[in-house]
Amino acid sequence: MEDKVVLTNVATQEGNWAIPNNRLGLSLINIEEERVFKEQRAVYVTRNNESEQYNPEIKLNLYVLVTSNYTSGEINADNTEYLEGLKQLSYVIAFFQQKNVFNTSNSPSLDPAIGKLVVELFSYSFEQLYNFWTVIGAKYLPSILYRVRLMRVQEQEITGKQPLLSGLGVNS
């Protein structure tokens, strides 16, 4: 049995769809830094009572587009394939409505360094939708956009170490 969802670009350079027929395409279309929850702390205390300095982690929002390519390309074709594509999109909506938070307890294969991911529906206006499909140079396909929130990136490359203060003394 073939996969119903493929990881792919939305369109090729020629403006054709890169998503195979009768499949859903999963495409990363934007990465945005989450500045509201940005970590400000750059100094961390270790178990050995030393302070380590490294750049704060970056939290990212990923914009993921799920596109339905269930079209025969024929003008007078029946709507069976199109309806199947809408049905497949409705399954995606139902899945993320039921499970919109992913962490290591409900998704054991998730990298523990990521922590948790929150998937939320992202609605855009008709103008934004038109602009998106115009920019990629392809004809519109039924699609849904999700924002995957707070993917953490932290390399923890130490930029400095300092011993902690053990006491204060006053000379008079």
pLDDT digits (tens, 9 = 90+) for 105-123: 999 998 888 888 999 999 9
pLDDT tens string 13-33: 676 778 888 899 999 999 998
What average pLDDT does the chain have? 81
Pick from 68, 44, 36, 30: which is nearest to 148 by CA? 30
C-alpha distances out from residue 31 to 34, 62, 132, 143, 148, Å: 10, 5, 15, 18, 10
Give residue 21's pLDDT: 86
- Residue 60 makes CB contacts below 8 A (sequence gap 6+) with 31, 32, 33, 34, 150, 151, 152, 153
Better-scored residue on pLDDT, 78 or 122: 122
Pick from 7, 32, 8: which is nearest to 151 by CA? 32
Distance CA 166, CA 46 (A): 15
Distance CA 56, CA 38 (A): 8
Please tell me the pTM assigned to this model: 0.76
Give residue 43's pLDDT: 66
C-alpha distances out from residue 136 to 25, 29, 48, 130, 165, Å: 15, 10, 53, 10, 57
Give residue 7's pLDDT: 87
Residue 156 has pLDDT above 70, yes or no: no
pLDDT tens string 45-54: 666 667 777 7
